[in-house]
Amino acid sequence: MRTTGKHRRVPAKNGRRLTATASVASLALVGAALGSASNTHAILARPQTPAAHLQANFSTVAAAKAVTFTATATLPSGAPDAAEPATLQLTTVRGWETLGTKELSAAGTATFTFHPKHNHNYRVLLPAVTGNGTTILNPVMSPNIAVHIKAPSIGAQIVADAAKEKGKPYVFGAAGPNSFDCSGLVKFVFAKFGITLPHHANDMKHYGVQVSEKDAKPGDLVFVFSGSFAHHVAIYAGNGTWWEAPHTGSFVRHVKIWSSDIEFRRIV
């Protein structure tokens, strides 16, 4: 069999000349070693793109009630993608906006809890990472999930929360949790639903939209006027009744509306 390679003459030994051959096979071994190092480098630099998933504990929720989103990242190997940032985003008229970023746990998960107030689509962004742990560009996006706010008003929940304060004493200037004045009760209850109102009935009258008495729903506000000045506010409970903290010496109570000089306003 003929060996391919370059030959050089060497001194004779015992009457014979030897041929020194740098065979192609030997060169191939060297090339393989170099190629192996190159391949190792390529493996280290190859993106290990995680699969991104997002789940919510509700698809439809009452406005301003908490929703928990869980982001999950899994590497192609099936192992969790841990210690990487996961970013939760929602759609707005301006495009995608970031709600927050958390580090993935050892199990490859991150949770976000907040109070949505409108219908939105949500997604989570995860970084693609290299084998040596460095982050690269072009984040991985989960499929969008939609969270819808229930059309029915949260008024019934507002009334139920006002009822929890039944029997607590009226104290001028108090806004809970142990005592209230009229606007303090309203402010305290609505704050539970992520709605901030001023602590004065006359200032509250500028919030929301006015509705007629026949269109009023539980959870609307009812203002009592002296001329153009609103000196009292309560939470409408339906059927001509309200929850109020009326005056010194009284307590939070559920009674018939006792004034005719009133205005209804819808905040939610």
Task: Give pLDDT tens digits for 232-252.
Answer: 999 999 999 999 999 999 999
Q: Which residues pair with 122 in a beta bridge?
A: 90, 145
Collapsing DSSP to helix, strand or coil, 252 comes out as: coil
pLDDT (mean) for 49-67: 83
pLDDT (mean) for 156-171: 95
Range ranked top by mean pLDDT from 3-7, 133-137, 158-162: 158-162
- Looking at residue 63, what is its pLDDT? 62
Q: How many CA atoms lie within 13 A of 199 on its CB side?
A: 11
- Distance, in Å, from the CA atom of 217 to the CA atom of 263, rounded to the nearest integer, reads 13
- Distance, in Å, from the CA atom of 255 to the CA atom of 181, rounded to the nearest integer, reads 16
Structure tokens at 204: 């509250």
**Amino acid letter at 146?**
A
User: Looking at the predicted structure, is the pLDDT value of residue 57 above 50?
Assistant: yes
More confident residue, 163 or 147: 163
- Looking at residue 34, what is its pLDDT? 35
- Looking at residue 31, what is its pLDDT? 36
For 10, residues 6+ apart whose C-beta sits below 8 A from its C-beta are: 17, 18, 19, 20
pLDDT in tens, 177-193: 999 999 999 999 999 98
pLDDT in tens, 192-212: 988 999 999 999 999 999 999
Domains of the chain: residue spans and CATH: 48-149 (2.60.40.1930), 155-266 (3.90.1720.10)
